[in-house]
Amino acid sequence: MHRLFLFFLLLTALTINACGGNQTGPSGLQVTLEPPTTGQAEPQLTIQVADSQGQPVTDARVTVEGNMTHAGMAPVISDAVTDDADGAADGRYRVPFQFTMLGDWVLTITIQQAGGSASEQNIEVIVSDQSVIVK
């Protein structure tokens, strides 16, 4: 019974991942990365979160896990941040995050909402010295 539950949990997680990469996930949340203009040196990522109507979501906690597309690298996992941690509850979450290498990354953005629901979206980026480009 316990194993079956884990299986469905895994299946759900895979389904969520399969839908990631674009702006709107199954939760209806719109998740947008504001690409840092300074490239790899930038110590944070700004993530915009809005609901299906485009209204800012201000009551969530946002974390970012970054994985490179090649094997053998440790993931970069951020602390969770609240919207007003930067002094403004405006739907823009400033997540401390440092890319540890140039190249292709998949950012998994986890949005934990106050009501208890969590959703995940993937955003693929290319990191260089000068820029971070969303694929």
Contact flags string 80-109 toward Cu ion, x per CB under 5 A: ---------------------x--------
Q: Which of 73, 76, 85, 118 binds Cu ion (CB under 5 A)?
A: 73
Alpha-carbon gap, residue 87 to 94, rounded angstroms: 10
Least gap, CB of 29 to Cu ion (angstroms): 29
What is the nearest approach in angstroms of Cu ion to the Cβ of residue 67?
A: 9
Q: What DSSP assignment string belongs to 60-119?
A: -EEEEEEEESSSS-PPEEPPPEEGGGGT--SSEEEEE----SSEEEEEEEEEE-TTS-EE
Residue type, 30: Q
Q: Using the rule CB under 5 A, is 68 a contact of Cu ion?
A: yes
When asked if residue 118 is in the footprint of Cu ion (CB under 5 A), the reply is no
Residues lying near Cu ion in the complex (CB under 5 A) are found at 68, 73, 101
